[in-house]
Amino acid sequence: NLPLPALDDDTRAALIEAGRNVLAARANHPGQSLADLYDPDYMPTDLRAAHLELDKVADVAFGAGKWLKDDDDARLQVLFKSYTRMTGSSEV
């Protein structure tokens, strides 16, 4: 688990809702394993959309200042910096 930064109530609620939407989208596909669900070539449209919304909220919540779209390298840098800030550790 990744530690959460201090969040205002609206951001916290949006993050929780987006996470619940990911879980709900997974539940729409009970016969598929996580490996099947997250195969980039076959990921269900509803799950992909739920993750897109989660990314939008999480990018800002963890300090990106904006949605990072498909820039996974930038997203990782934001998450690593946030982790370092919150834990005081340089070990990631």
3-state helix, strand, coil in the chain (%, to 5): 60, 0, 40
With pLDDT > 70 as the criterion, what percentage of the chain qualifies? 95
Pair 37, 26: CB distance under 8 Å: yes
pLDDT-based confidence at 11, cuts 50/70/90? very high
- Given this model, what pLDDT does residue 79 score? 86
pLDDT 10s digits, 66-84: 999 989 899 999 888 888 8
Residue 90 has pLDDT above 80, yes or no: no
Per residue in 20-57, is it b (16+ CB within 10 Å) or e — as a string? ebbeebbeeeeeeeeeebeeeeebbeebeebbebbbbb
Q: Residue 74 carries which DSSP code? A: H
pLDDT 10s digits, 21-63: 999 999 999 999 999 999 999 999 999 999 999 999 999 998 8
Distance CA 16, CA 10 (A): 10
What is the pTM assigned to this prediction? Answer: 0.83
The domains of the chain are located at: 9-87
- Given this model, what pLDDT does residue 54 score? 96
